[in-house]
Structure formats: structure tokens, C-alpha cells
Amino acid sequence: MVKPVYVINGFLESGKTSFFAYTIGQPYFRTSGTTLLITCEEGEVGYGPKLLRATNTVKEDIESVDDFTPAALMALDAKYNPERILIEWNGMWDFRKFRIPKKWMLEQEMTTIDASTFPMYFGNGDLKSLLAEQIRGTELIMVNRCDGIDKKTLIRYKRNLKAINPNAELIFEDKDGEVDTAEAEDLPYDIHADPIVLDGINYAIWFQDIFDHPDWYEGKRVQFLADVVKPADFPAGYFISARPIMGCCANDIRMFGNVVQYDRADELMAGQYVRVTAEVTPGDISYSGLARVSQEGYDVVTGEGMILKAASVEPESRPAQPVLDFTNQ
């Protein structure tokens, strides 16, 4: 039987233990079998023995990343035969070293961030790289302790994080609960313009926002400069408009693009820059070519979403700075 693994990462005192302790104690998370909880660092908050007994949870500590190996984890599996595994990862360990046994399956990956210390980590090159590895594949990012931080700053944090992982769900919380960071008035471009002009970094901000708030853009026209991407076997009459975006550092530059429907797409050359004016419309973008694009480093959201129906696609010169840099936002 394949066993599900839930992993939470983040730096020390970012709220990992509090989140896991709360989740373990919830009725919806209860299970009849044994839960194996593996902790990789000790913070100020711990797991009480009463909670562990009540939830049939056994806790094991791994103190060195060198000891976090599939063989060591299989030894714990043989010892407890758990129904599921929870792992509290050490934020100072490179997440690229995270390896689990083949009979375990990563069910969910979560990341906690302390908003009050986020600038310190994001502003330090080595720590920023560790942070990027933590959130690159995570499904849920919980930014807590937002008390006293103005909304404009939280929106900037959101854009920084989304630039690294545009598909992650973000939750911002203060002592009173969730903080709403979704207001069109806070965008750096005029959402009511026709067309909405998305020059420079505004393209990257819009790329994030259209997936969070598609209803804000449906039926509106947008205009931007982009690189033409034409994957093999992509359907006739479509191409991908994309820009390279740096979310963390030079090693983290990736292409992010949108599917564009254009009658003369076959006349475009891959790699040329064009200025696209298009209407945002709902559509199914689950094309077979998209998986291949992802393997080449192009992150394109698949499934039901928004397609850009181009009214015009005009050739443009390559911009002097093609990479859109989120690190200074």
C-alpha cells in the first residue's frame, strides 16, 4: 500500500509546528491507523504528549539532513507501520535533498512564512535560495503574523512569492484571521483601460493576477510585448506569448506564458518578439503540447481557464531588458 506523506516547510518559528499540531487535532484529519510525525528541527512550540496519544501519533526526530535518507525512513516505516506520514522539514536544509521511499507518496506540500521576517530572508541571497526551494513545488503558502503590516506591503510579498510559484494558493493571516489582499485598485495598471497596457513588470503582475481573478479580466482587451513560443504539435491557429521572469535570482529565471488564439499563428516565427492586442475569453487550454512546453521550462497553466483571442499581433524589436525582474518589487 502506498502511504501518503504531508510535508510542511519554512524557516524556524514560522508556524510549522502550530499548523501541524492544530491539523492533527481536528476531527476531519483523524485516522484509525498510526500517524508517523517526523520533525527535523526543534522550535519553541512542541507537540504535547496528550495530543500525540489522543491522535495515535508517534514522533521521531531527525537532526541532520545527511540522516534524512530513504533507508532511514524505511526503518521508521518498518518500526511503526504508519498509515500516513507527516514531515516537518528544517527550513535551513536544502529542499532539493528531500527524498522519500518509493512506497511513500507526497500527498501535499505546504510552506509557512512569518510576514514579519520575510524581508530578512528574501533580501539575503543564500536564504532567498533556500526559500525559493521551499516554495517552488508547494501547493499552499501560509503567510502568518501579518499584524501591523500594511496591505500594500503584503501585496508586494504576494507578488514576490507568486513569481516563484504562480500555482500556489496563498493565505495571509493576522491574529483576527485571513487578510484580504485582492483589490483591483492596488494594481499598478489601469484595469478599466481599453486596452489594458501591460508594459515591463506589469506583464508579470498581470500574469499572476489573471489566474487569481479571471472574472476581473473576462471580456477585456490587453496589450503587451511577448516572445513567440511554438511547441511541437501545438494546434494550428494557436501560439504561446511568453516572457522570462526572475522570481528569486538569476538561477530562477523561467518563461511564463499564455495561450493565444490567432488566425495567422502559422506565419509567426518562434523566438520573435511581438506586440499582442487580445481579448481575454474563457476556454479550455488542455492541449497536448503544453506538457512538452512545461518540460522545456515554460510554465503554462492547463485546464479550463482564459485564452487570449488576438485582434492584432505586430512584430517588435527585442527589448533591451527581456527578463522581468520581480526581486526588486
Asked if 83 contacts 34 with a C-beta cutoff of 8 angstroms, the reply is yes
Closest CA to 271 of 250, 296, 235, 236: 296
Instruction: Determine the Cα–Cα distance for residues 246 and 252; give it in Å rounded to an integer.
Output: 6
pLDDT value at position 204? 85
Contact 183, 212 (CB under 8 A): no
pLDDT at 254: 78
Could you tell me the three cell numbers for 287?
492541449
- pLDDT of 304 reads 58
Q: How far is it, in rounded angstroms, from Cα 57 to Cα 258?
A: 45
Look at 234 and 103; give whichever has higher pLDDT: 103
**pLDDT for res 302:** 52
What phi and psi, each to the nearest 5 degrees, are found at residue 298?
-95, 120
Predicted pLDDT at 70: 96
Encode pLDDT of 254-277 as tens digits: 788 888 999 999 999 989 999 999
Confidence of residue 118 (pLDDT cuts 50, 70, 90): very high
pTM of the model: 0.73
Q: In sequence order, what are the residues at sequence separation of 6 or more whose Cβ sits closer than 8 angstroms to the Cβ of residue 110?
A: 6, 7, 8, 9, 19, 138, 139, 140, 141, 142
How much is the average pLDDT of 139-162?
89
For 310-327, what is the mean pLDDT?
A: 88
Question: What is the set of domains in the chain, with CATH numbers?
Answer: 3-178 (3.40.50.300), 189-324 (2.40.50.140)
Per-residue model confidence (pLDDT) at position 329? 56
Cβ distance 114 to 14 under 8 Å?
Answer: yes
Residue 92: pLDDT above 90? yes
pLDDT given at position 42: 80
- Measuring CA to CA, how many Å separate 85 from each of 1, 28, 101, 131? 13, 16, 12, 23
In this structure, the chain runs to a length of 329
> Taking a C-beta distance cutoff of 8 angstroms, is the pair 2, 105 a contact?
yes
Secondary structure (3-state) at 191: coil
Cell triple for 253: 529565471
CB 263 within 8 A of CB 237: yes
Q: Answer yes or no: are the C-beta atoms of 51 and 80 closer than 8 Å.
A: no
- The pLDDT, as a whole number, for residue 180 is 76
Question: In a 3-state reduction of DSSP, which class is residue 165?
Answer: coil
Residue 238 DSSP SS3? strand
Residue 123's pLDDT is what? 82
Q: What is the pLDDT of residue 288?
A: 40
Can you tell me the distance from the alpha carbon of 298 to that of 128, in angstroms, rounded to the nearest whole number?
22
**Amino acid code (one letter) for 116:** S
Which residue in 308, 161, 195 sits closest to 242, CA to CA?
A: 308
How many other CB atoms are found less than 10 A from the CB of residue 132? 20
Q: For 145-156, what is each residue's pLDDT tens digit?
A: 999 998 888 988
